[in-house]
Homo-oligomer: A and B are copies of this chain.
Amino acid sequence: MGRDKPRRIIDTYVNLLVDSGVRQATIEAVARRCGLSKAGLLHHYPSRAALDAALLERLRSLVEEDVTVMREAPGGAVRYYLASSLDAESDLERIVVAATRLAQADHSPAGELLRWARDLWYDVLVEQLGDPLLARFVLLAGDGVSYHTDISTPNEQPFITADDIDSFTRVFETLQRSEGDGRQTLA
């Protein structure tokens, strides 16, 4: 315990990015939260770019892991994706938000990786739903959930609830069935 320092540094960097934004997420702030000096941290990651790269590498591995779980999810990929988007405290969701912050700060590798992740999730949804348009619909809803979770505050009552997710999931299931029946609700 407490031995994997690089890991702890990245986690702290993610937390700072998510909770306080790119401006506050300085090397010194990360170091202080880890009980280190600036130079002490720079020994592990010799530059800010190295810190960013490590964060993205961790995101990459978490996404690959998540996609396999999503593919086998008992309640189906749709429910899994929507519910995941609502869980703002999960490691994956937090690091996705952190990467979004970096992407918005003109950090193009972060944007590329986020689009790569989106395509993976999209492929799983197309696979299970059998309809690209419906898959995009689900993806939009999930990412809308992430956005609203992101701009919400802890003290206000949540705009989207777990019950909502349940309802939306059932709607998508209904839409999928009606597609299969030849009743073209979509397209």
Residues of A within 8 A of B (CB): 19-24, 100-101, 103-106, 111, 114-115, 118, 133, 136-137, 139-148, 150-153, 156, 159-160, 164, 167-168, 170-171, 174-175, 185-187
15 interchain pairs (CB within 8 A)? A20-B105, A21-B104, A22-B22, A24-B105, A100-B151, A118-B148, A139-B144, A140-B168, A141-B144, A143-B143, A143-B144, A144-B144, A146-B147, A167-B187, A171-B185
- What's the number of copies of this chain in the assembled complex? 2
User: Contact at A174–B164, with CB atoms within 8 Å?
Assistant: no
Query: Which chain B positions have C-beta within 8 A of A111?
Result: 151, 153
- When distances are taken between beta carbons in the complex, the residues of chain B under 8 Å from A137 are 141, 168, 171
User: Is B105 touching A21 in the complex (CB atoms < 8 A)?
Assistant: yes
